[in-house]
């Protein structure tokens, strides 16, 4: 079976997951030190003179504010918001309360209300660097990276010694694929705070994207050393090891992730990919099944498990898994194509044509989709359509051996024996151990009464393990 390439197996959209690409860390309470973007409202900030305006003469607003912070440290975001609501009711100009409530909204995934609160904080205090940084984080979470970068840059302008703003801008640069800028910002963040775990993580991410895997592993190992109790740095390093081809080390890191976070479906999936790369298909199957058990809407896990079923020629189970992936990601051309291929190999050519046609609509430059649709058309005796698809597959991928062989079969069926022999010969040129191509070329030679040539091809096919008729 063909192996998956780790570079093509980016972390999916399932939770828990990195918040960008392959190496981010999902949002969490600021005190944990395990988040990617760093919302700024930690209790240490409370003492700033500007956050407790004169309106709060009896200290009640401040008391509710501190209560909200305590709820936030325990991830009790809804209760935190209620406390911040009360603080703001008592003191409508309480900048830090708006800021903290916005962070709480963000942690609940309510980024729109988060932005509203940060806008109010900025309107009340236009020099508030933390509010700009937090609004930038909210924009990043909704993938509005240009506005995020603008806000992080403003936060840096207002507070050039804030490692948090540099780190957050670095992450946004990662999302816009500006990796050198991300590394520069992480370097500055680490100059300001040499122990800043998140900056090591993001710099490791940038190095990884640049395929500088040694530096990526070095930075991620630093994160692991500083925070051995946090699972995602192990995940990120494991993914880097996989991209380096060091699948054993990758599996060790994924093992650690799963030990720390047993319900991490993404880690099960990635470990499954590593096992598959080592040809341990049994353990890969276990991990893909485990990922699905933990996250029933995990399209990528269904796809990968479907691949294993297809490789074992269990097309019924493969189609069932691919169907789940199609249901979850109806515009995923890969899922449509794989199901179409499974239908074609199962012999259900009408269903194969439907799926492969949709796959081609979604991804018009997929040579494999044209090749398998050509196979389905050929099996349905629609030879002209089959020929057109094989021609298109070869145009997209000139050395596509299987498509060239398929075109040869269609030419043979149409009575073009010389064209068939030419295609089989070209397929053999590209793949000298292609036994079936020798056998089919032998058949074509035999049909042309070229007995010696036919016998030579049959003998070669036998030597390669195929028994011609």
pLDDT score at 346: 95
pLDDT in tens, 393-420: 999 999 999 999 999 999 999 999 999 9
* Predicted confidence band of residue 277 (pLDDT cuts 50, 70, 90): very high
Burial of 325: CB neighbours in 10 Å, binned 0-12, 13-18, 19+: buried
Report whether the peptide linkage leading into residue 417 is cis, meaning its omega lies within 30 degrees of zero: no
pLDDT score at 49: 28
pLDDT score at 56: 52
Residue listed under structure tokens 């911040």: 84
pLDDT score at 5: 52
Dihedral sign from CA coordinates of 243, 255, 199, 110: positive
Domain range summary for the chain, segments of one domain joined by +: 330-398, 412-469
Residues 406 and 410: their CA atoms lie apart, in Å, by: 6
Nearest Cα to Cα of residue 262 among 26, 16, 74, 73: 16
Residues 51 and 341: their CA atoms lie apart, in Å, by: 62
Q: Are 355 and 372 in contact (CB under 8 A)?
A: no
Q: How many residues does the chain have?
A: 469
Higher pLDDT, residue 380 or 18: 380
- Percent of the chain having pLDDT more than 70? 87
Alpha helices (H) in 329-366, listed in sequence order: 333-346, 349-362
pLDDT in tens, 72-83: 999 999 999 999
User: CA separation (Å) from 423 to 264, 401, 409, 452?
Assistant: 49, 9, 9, 19
Reply yes or no on whether the pLDDT at 2 is more than 60: no
Q: What is this structure's pTM? A: 0.78
* Predicted confidence band of residue 381 (pLDDT cuts 50, 70, 90): very high
Q: Are 196 and 220 in contact (CB under 8 A)?
A: no
* Least confidently predicted of 2-11, 98-107, 429-438, 454-463: 2-11
Stretch 117-136: mean pLDDT: 96
DSSP string of 274-334, one letter each residue: HHHHTT-HHHHHHHHHHHHHH-TT-HHHHHHHHHHHHHTT-HHHHHHHHHHHHHH-TT-HH
Residues 265 and 295: their CA atoms lie apart, in Å, by: 6
Tokens of 418: 């010389």
pLDDT score at 26: 26
Residues 309 and 292: their CA atoms lie apart, in Å, by: 15
pLDDT score at 33: 27
Residues 224 and 433: their CA atoms lie apart, in Å, by: 47
pLDDT in tens, 411-469: 999 999 999 999 999 999 999 999 999 999 999 999 999 999 999 999 999 999 987 66
**E strand segments, 379-429:** none
Mean pLDDT of the chain: 89
* Fold of the CATH domain 412-469: 1.25.40
User: How far is CA 168 from its chain centroid?
Assistant: 21
How many other CB atoms are found less than 10 A from the CB of residue 289? 15
Domain 330-398 sits in CATH at 1.25.40.10
Reply yes or no on whether the pLDDT at 52 is more than 60: no
Q: What radius of gyration, in Å, describes the C-alpha atoms of the chain?
A: 29
Q: Are 461 and 442 in contact (CB under 8 A)?
A: yes
Alpha helices (H) in 159-246, listed in sequence order: 163-175, 179-192, 197-209, 213-226, 231-244
Reply yes or no on whether the pLDDT at 53 is more than 70: no
**Equal fold, 330-398 vs 412-469:** yes
pLDDT in tens, 329-380: 999 999 999 999 999 999 999 999 999 999 999 999 999 999 999 999 999 9
Name, in order, each residue with C-beta under 8 angstroms of 349's C-beta and a sequence gap of 6 or more: 343, 376, 377, 379, 380
Residues 244 and 61: their CA atoms lie apart, in Å, by: 54
pLDDT score at 385: 98
Residues 386 and 378: their CA atoms lie apart, in Å, by: 5
């Amino acid at each position: 079976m063909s192996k998956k390439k780790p570079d093509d197996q980016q972390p999916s959209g399932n939770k828990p997951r990195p918040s960008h690409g392959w190496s981010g860390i999902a949002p969490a309470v600021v005190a944990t030190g395990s988040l990617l973007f760093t919302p700024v409202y930690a209790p240490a900030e409370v003492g700033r003179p500007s956050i407790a305006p004169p309106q709060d003469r009896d200290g009640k607003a401040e008391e509710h504010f501190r209560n909200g912070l305590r709820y936030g440290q325990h991830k009790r975001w809804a209760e935190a918001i209620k406390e911040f609501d009360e603080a703001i009711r008592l003191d409508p100009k309480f900048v830090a309360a708006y800021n903290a409530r916005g962070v709480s909204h963000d942690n609940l995934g309510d980024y729109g209300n988060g932005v509203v609160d940060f806008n109010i904080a900025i309107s009340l205090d236009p020099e508030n660097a933390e509010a700009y940084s937090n609004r930038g984080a909210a924009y990043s979470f909704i993938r509005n990276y240009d506005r995020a970068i603008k806000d992080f840059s403003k936060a840096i302008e207002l507070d050039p010694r804030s490692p948090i703003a540099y780190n957050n801008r670095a992450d946004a640069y990662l999302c816009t694929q500006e990796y050198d800028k991300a590394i520069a910002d992480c370097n500055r963040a680490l100059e300001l705070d040499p122990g800043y775990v998140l900056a090591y993580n993001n710099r490791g991410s940038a190095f990884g994207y640049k395929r500088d895997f040694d530096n990526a592993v070095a930075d991620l190992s630093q994160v692991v050393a500083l925070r051995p109790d946090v699972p995602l740095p192990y995940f990120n390093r494991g993914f880097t090891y996989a991209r380096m081809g060091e699948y054993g080390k990758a599996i060790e890191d994924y093992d650690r992730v799963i030990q720390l976070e047993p319900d991490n479906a993404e880690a099960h999936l990635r470990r499954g990919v590593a096992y598959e790369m080592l040809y341990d298909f049994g353990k890969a199957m276990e991990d893909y099944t485990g990922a699905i058990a933990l996250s029933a809407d995990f399209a990528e896990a269904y796809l990968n498990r479907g691949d294993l079923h297809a490789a074992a020629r269990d097309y019924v189970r493969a189609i069932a898994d691919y169907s789940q992936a199609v249901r979850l990601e109806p515009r995923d051309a890969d899922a449509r194509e794989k199901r179409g291929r499974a239908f074609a190999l199962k012999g259900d050519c009408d269903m194969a044509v439907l799926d492969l046609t949709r796959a081609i609509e979604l991804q018009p430059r997929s040579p494999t989709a044209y090749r398998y649709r050509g196979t389905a058309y050929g099996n349905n005796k629609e030879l002209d359509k089959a020929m057109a698809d094989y021609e298109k597959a070869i145009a997209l991928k000139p050395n596509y051996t299987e498509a060239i062989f398929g075109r040869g079969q269609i030419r043979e069926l149409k009575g073009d024996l010389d064209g068939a022999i030419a295609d089989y010969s070209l397929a053999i040129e590209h793949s000298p151990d292609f036994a079936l191509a020798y056998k089919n070329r032998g058949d074509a030679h035999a049909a042309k009464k070229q007995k010696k040539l036919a016998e030579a091809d049959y003998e070669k096919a036998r030597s390669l393990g195929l028994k011609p008729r």
